[in-house]
C-alpha cells in the first residue's frame, strides 16, 4: 500500500514538472526531500522490525548433529616426505555416529623429545575430505608441514593429534 502512494506521488511530481515551468524549477528540491523522507521512514521501519525479533531458542546441550567425539582416529602413521619439513600422515577415520561424515579437520602438534624433555616445534591443521557412513571406517591420507630449521629435524618426534571440527549429514 505504501508503495502505491509513493508511486502516485512520483507520477504527480513528474506530471507537474512537465506541465508547469515554474514547478519544474522546484521539482528537484521536492524530489530530494521526498527521497530523504522515504529513506528516513525505511530506516525507522527497519530499526523497529530489528528490535522486535524474538530471541533465538537456546540449543540443547548436545546438538543432534555430528560431534568431534563421534570420530575416532586409528592406525595413525607419520612419515617424512621428500620435503624435509613435510610429513605424510595416514590413518583410518571411524564414524561412531548414525550420521554420515563428510569431512573433518585434523590438528596435529609436533614436539621433539630427546632424553625425555619435549620442545614444541609447531602444529598444523589439515582438512580431510572423507565420506564415512555411520558406523563405518575409511582410510585417509594428508600432508602436514612444520616450521623447524633446515638441517635440524626432530630426533625423537612426538605426535599429538585431535579432530577439531566435523561436518556430517543425514544418511540418504
Confidence check: pLDDT of 55 > 90: no
Contacts of residue 128, Cβ cutoff 8 Å, sequence gap at least 6? 93, 103, 104, 105, 106, 140, 142
Percent of the chain with pLDDT over 90: 30
For residue 172, what pLDDT is reported?
56
For residue 61, what pLDDT is reported?
44
For residue 60, what pLDDT is reported?
47
Mean pLDDT, rounded, for 21-48: 79
Q: pLDDT (tens digit, 9 = 90+) per residue, 71-89?
A: 999 999 998 877 777 889 9
CA geometry: angle 28, 34, 38, nearest 5 deg:
145
Confidence check: pLDDT of 54 > 70: no
* Domain locations in the chain as residue ranges: 2-51, 68-169
For residue 171, what pLDDT is reported?
59
- Nine-digit cell string for 168: 556430517
Q: pLDDT (tens digit, 9 = 90+) per residue, 97-120?
A: 889 999 999 999 988 888 888 888
CB 106 within 8 A of CB 142: yes
For residue 151, what pLDDT is reported?
65
Mean pLDDT, rounded, for 48-75: 72
Q: Which CATH number fits domain 68-169: 3.40.220.10, 3.40.640.10, 1.10.10.60, 2.60.40.10?
A: 2.60.40.10
Amino acid at each position: 500500500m505504501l508503495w502505491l502512494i509513493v508511486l502516485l506521488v512520483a507520477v504527480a511530481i513528474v506530471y507537474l514538472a512537465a506541465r508547469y515551468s515554474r514547478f519544474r524549477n522546484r521539482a528537484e528540491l521536492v524530489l530530494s526531500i521526498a527521497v530523504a523522507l522515504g529513506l528516513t521512514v525505511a530506516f525507522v521501519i527497519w530499526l523497529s522490525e530489528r528490535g522486535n525479533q524474538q530471541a533465538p531458542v537456546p540449543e540443547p546441550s548436545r546438538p543432534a548433529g555430528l560431534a568431534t567425539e563421534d570420530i575416532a582416529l586409528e592406525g595413525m602413521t607419520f612419515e617424512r616426505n621428500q620435503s624435509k619439513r613435510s610429513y605424510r600422515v595416514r590413518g583410518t577415520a571411524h564414524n561412531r555416529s548414525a550420521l554420515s561424515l563428510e569431512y573433518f579437520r585434523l590438528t596435529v602438534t609436533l614436539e621433539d623429545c630427546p632424553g625425555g624433555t619435549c620442545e614444541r616445534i609447531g602444529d598444523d591443521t589439515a582438512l580431510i575430505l572423507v565420506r564415512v557412513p555411520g558406523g563405518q571406517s575409511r582410510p585417509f591420507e594428508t600432508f602436514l608441514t612444520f616450521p623447524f630449521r633446515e638441517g635440524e629435524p626432530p630426533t625423537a618426534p612426538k605426535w599429538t593429534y585431535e579432530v577439531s571440527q566435523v561436518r556430517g549429514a543425514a544418511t540418504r
